[in-house]
Each structure stands twice: as C-alpha cells, then as structure tokens.
Amino acid sequence: MDLGCEHCYGEDAETVMEYCTKNLETTRRIVSDSHFGVSLRKCPECGQQFVAIFTEFVDWQGGDDAQYFDIVPVTPIEAKYIVNAQDLLRDLSKLGNRRRRVSSDWPTGGRNRVSWKHGEFHVEEGH
Ligand SMILES: [Zn+2]
C-alpha cells in the first residue's frame, strides 16, 4: 500500500507530525466536540487523505488535561466509509491495522511525546 509523500508520511515522526498539523487541509469535520474531534484532512502536496483524531480527558483535579492526537492515512474508500460510519469509534480503531500512524501523547502532568504507532488502536471519546 502506497500512502502519502515524504512530507506527510516520511520517516521522522516529529517532522511528520509538525508538517501535518501545520499543512493538512481539513476537508470535513466528522465530530467536533470540545474534548473529542474527528476530521478528514488532505495533504496539499500529494492529495493523501487522513483521519485526524483528537481526544482530551479533563482532569478535574489539576490544570493539565491529558491530550491525544492521532493522524491516520486512509484510502478514498475508507474516508467515505468513516464519514458515513454507523459505529464511528469501532471503525476508527480498525484504521490502525496494516499501517503506521503518527501519534502525539500528552498525558496529564507529563511531556508531549510524538511517535509512530502500529496496530489496532483504542479510540474513546474524551470527556
Ligand atoms: Zn503528502
């Protein structure tokens, strides 16, 4: 499977995350809650489509809220499927199969960490 270009799906996770957050165009918002956001985005260089998933877990005790951000490349068929998903959370988690995704973890009280992740992933709504 050929996905993306050197900018949006290159080797270095931090470089890719920075490029993607600054340059991908949001083509469709699927969910936009304050603690849970899912959108369809597109690379301006190569046209690769991505699903971007933002989740935040409000920590009522302290100031920092845990935040997670994943950007998964998808084929046009998958993009269409996600937009019309019957069970969005389940279908999103399956997108992790067979490809890597760039992921940013920002746990409560921790430091932001950007890395590549593989495999099925757990998507849950933030709160
Ligand atoms: Zn690209």
pTM of the model: 0.89
Alpha carbon of 80 to ligand 1 centroid (Å):
19
Distance 126 CA to ligand 1 centre (A): 28
How much distance in Å is there from the Cα of 41 to the middle of ligand 1? 11
Cβ neighbours of 18 (radius 10 Å) = 13
Is residue 28 one of the residues assigned to a domain? yes
Does 51 map to a domain? yes
In a domain, 6, yes or no: no
Domain count, the chain: 1
Query: What pLDDT was estimated at residue 63?
Result: 66
| CA 35 to ligand 1 center in whole angstroms | 27
1 occurs within a structural domain: no
Range of the domain at 44: 13-117
- Mean pLDDT, each 10-residue run in order, the chain (127 residues): 91 97 97 93 98 86 80 94 89 84 88 88 76
Report if residue 71 sits inside a domain. yes
- Within a domain: residue 126? no
45 located within any domain: yes
Distance, CA 9 to ligand 1 centroid (Å)? 7
In a domain, 93, yes or no: yes
Give me the pLDDT at residue 119, please.
77
Output the CA 7–ligand 1 centroid distance in Å: 5
